[in-house]
Structure 1
Amino acid sequence: MSIQQDDTLKLTDAQRIDWLRLIRSENVGPRTFRSLLNHFGSARDALERLPEFALRGGAGRPGRICTVDDAEREIAAGFRLGVALLAPGETGYPPRLALIDDAPPLLGVRGSYDVEMRPMIGIVGSRNASGAGLKFAQMLASDLAEQGFVIASGLARGVDAAAHRVTCKTGTVAVLAGGHDRIYPPEHDELLASIIDAGSGAISEMPLGHSPRARDFPRRNRLISGVAFGVVIVEAAHRSGSLITARFANEQGREVFAVPGSPLDPRAAGTNDLIKQGATLITSAADIVDAVRPIMGRPVEPLLSEDADDFVDDEPHGGDRAQVINLLSPAPVSIDDLIRLTGVTPAVVRTVLLELELAGRLERHGGGMVSLI
């Protein structure tokens, strides 16, 4: 079982350093990175213009730019740990992850590249899972592995760990919230070592030395859904992190599967609600395989590239910048609406948004929405 991928991107060593410097620079996230690459044509050209754009966006000072030395040190430290920084389209970068609109420009990949390239299903659930929930998660993971799927999960306690443990040898990917050398929870350091030693893998978009904070776990959850054809929620209470994963899956066009549970068990309240909202109720691996088989085999084309033909140079003039800024507020608005309401070109609107973002004044949301910070 495999999926097709258009392997068109191969970064040179110099480009990889430029990409790493750009994504590690202040106020540059995955969506901003893509906008910068599309606007300037290359990471190197974007790096040269970052200070100018930040000042034009209203920053009091240029943001911090990652140095060549810092980038080289991170690459070398990763190499010593067995971590490679890969771009969308390169072998080892999970193909479906390259399709999401905030795909990491460089992903820290450790372990088997073959595992990372195979079809994946995410399995997540309660950290305080019931015995029945843990048993079902293990059974489901094992059955999916027999069908050729790799299991992706977050290395958390409970359901995540149960799914990882039974698929170490058949194929599992641990999606980390911190750097590859900052495992959370700490007691799962041995589990991660077992995953790697058994020929499976781990991924993270965070730099080495980064200890996960509360806001990093939702970012991690979007990667769990992003790498997969679908995500299974085994047990989840109301306001559970697993429900955040389900929301990301919906936004990314992934299948959402939920395991029904007793109405008397609060650990099943979230999953039962998902089913009411339209998630696919599943009781076996066959339910999942039947749902994802029709979408398998479609070509995967990475969204990120270094192509000078994409270069657009349309600088704001006169009152263009003021028109765009006046329409912005803390409430998210779509970029399409900004273009329509201002009447200026899409390139000008995108340029103004880049300036504001690099000044730390703009936040990007899913679905092409932006807001002032």
Structure 2
Amino acid sequence: MQDTDPTQQSAQPDLRGWLRLSLVPGVGCVLGARLLDAFGCPAAVFAASRDAVAALCGAPVADALAAPPPSTGQQLIDRTEAWLATPGNHVLTLHDPAYPRMLREIYDPPLLLYAIGNVALLSAPSIAMVGSRNASTQGKANAQAFARAFSNAGLTVVSGLALGIDAAAHEGAMAGPGSTVAVIGTGADIVYPARNHQLAHRIAQAGCIISEYPLGHPVLASNFPRRNRLISGLAAGVLVVEAAAQSGSLITARMAAEQGRDVFAVPGSIHAPMSKGCHQLIREGAKLVDAAADVLDDIFPGAAVPDNAARGPAPAMPSEQLLDALGYDPIGADALAAACGLDAGRLSAQLLTLELAGHLERLPGGLFQRVNR
């Protein structure tokens, strides 16, 4: 994990009280915030009379707060304090100045955020990107290209560390000067899926990983839809790159709309199952985009993708490899060049060669599509 400026470490007083409050059965995000609004801090909550607490939250919660903490809770608090001794590890409370402002404004912000890495990114201008775990080659290339363009514009890309589109978005963001935040659905000390272990380590070094769940919290299916509200809550908008008709990405998009965030979707082939969800979102009012500029112009009008021509032309890519990168969905030359890391001029010449050979066709709007021979 990366070493960080000690001034970035959480200095929130009464951290043990915050941890204890977050572990009390029945005290979730909404009730916890109500108690803190009424009494000011966790210590005051625990010192309040049972009747005063019951008037706000009901008798069961008042009884749970009045009961001594179980030994397992004390052990978890001790474990968390030991975890915080590692540089780069943080626990941000809802009252911490480093707690992200946009997340604090949603209906049910977590009382605590467990974070690894650069917590300043949680308050940076951000765009969320989500999509299918079983993404197509073209979908992953699109996600990586969009994320790199956002990173080049100085934005932080927020996603969920899942396989497929999420992983491609994190990779693309770290390929540019911006960075990335991964919101996970387990304890911050657990990497899921295990195949993304190396990716998670790189994000902890160059970006930030956050979780609302206590250390050691296991993989549960119910965690991930709940996790999605944090992905959308951290960002100004959500871009869905590829999603099936029944997809967790649609949950994220709808949460984003409820939170007042903009929702964008990348269209795909009408024959592709992984495009059905995006098409559904577009019908419901999501903004159709086929380039990063569509998103930037809408929610970050001052941002611009830097000119990368000074990097010099990249070597030509073998035709078969280029066709694999092209996939079977229509794609613009700029997006393909970004995904493949090719110089636009050299790519144009290769595309013309493949078009003349009958391997692809040119579509209206500057798009290209592979022809299945």
Instruction: Check conservation: 1:75, 1:85, Cα contact below 8 A.
Output: no
Return the offset for 1:112. Answer: 1.3
Q: Does 1:265 align with 2:266?
A: no
Match of 1:246 among 249, 253, 261: 253
Residue type of the partner of 1:161? A
Q: Greater relative contact order: 1 or 2 (C-alpha under 8 angstroms, separation 6 or more)?
A: 1
Give the direction of change, closer, same or farther, for the CA distance of 1:60–1:243 in structure 2 (3 Å limit).
closer
Return the offset for 1:218. Answer: 1.0
Q: Secondary structure at the match of 1:151?
A: strand
Instruction: Check conservation: 1:127, 1:158, Cα contact below 8 A.
Output: yes
Match of 1:192 among 191, 197, 200: 200
Residue type of the partner of 2:221? A
Structure 2 Cα separation of the partners of residues 50 and 228 of structure 1: 39
Return the offset for 1:97. Answer: 1.3
Q: Secondary structure at the match of 1:107?
A: strand
Match of 1:77 among 80, 83, 88: 83
Instruction: Check conservation: 1:234, 1:259, Cα contact below 8 A.
Output: yes
Return the offset for 1:21. Answer: 1.4
Give the direction of change, closer, same or farther, for the CA distance of 1:262–1:59 in structure 2 (3 Å limit).
same
Provide the residue aligned with 1:348 in structure 2: none
Q: Does 1:28 align with 2:34?
A: no
Instruction: Check conservation: 1:89, 1:95, Cα contact below 8 A.
Output: no
Return the offset for 1:130. Answer: 1.0
Give the direction of change, closer, same or farther, for the CA distance of 1:100–1:65 in structure 2 (3 Å limit).
farther
Structure 1 Cα separation of the partners of residues 250 and 34 of structure 2: 29
Q: CA RMSD in A?
A: 2.5
Provide the residue aligned with 2:58 in structure 1: 57
Q: Does 1:226 align with 2:236?
A: no
Provide the residue aligned with 2:298 in structure 1: 291
Structure 1 Cα separation of the partners of residues 170 and 49 of structure 2: 41
Structure 2 Cα separation of the partners of residues 194 and 61 of structure 1: 43
Return the offset for 1:147. Answer: 0.8
Q: Secondary structure at the match of 1:140?
A: helix
Q: Radius of gyration: which is bigger?
A: 2
Percent identity (aligned)? 41
Deviation digits for residues 286-318 of structure 1 (CA, Å, limit 9, x no counterpart): 11111112699xxxxxxxxxxxxxxxxxxxxxx
TM-score, structure 2 as length reference: 0.70
Structure 1 Cα separation of the partners of residues 63 and 302 of structure 2: 45
Return the offset for 1:156. Answer: 0.2
Instruction: Check conservation: 1:89, 1:98, Cα contact below 8 A.
Output: no
Q: Superposed, which structure 2 residues align to 1:120-139 within 5 Å?
A: 120-139=126-145
Q: Does 1:101 align with 2:107?
A: yes
Structure 1 Cα separation of the partners of residues 130 and 68 of structure 2: 36
Give the direction of change, closer, same or farther, for the CA distance of 1:100–1:295 in structure 2 (3 Å limit).
farther
Unaligned runs of 5+ in 1: 1-9, 297-373
Return the offset for 1:44. Answer: 1.6
Return the offset for 1:68. Answer: 5.9
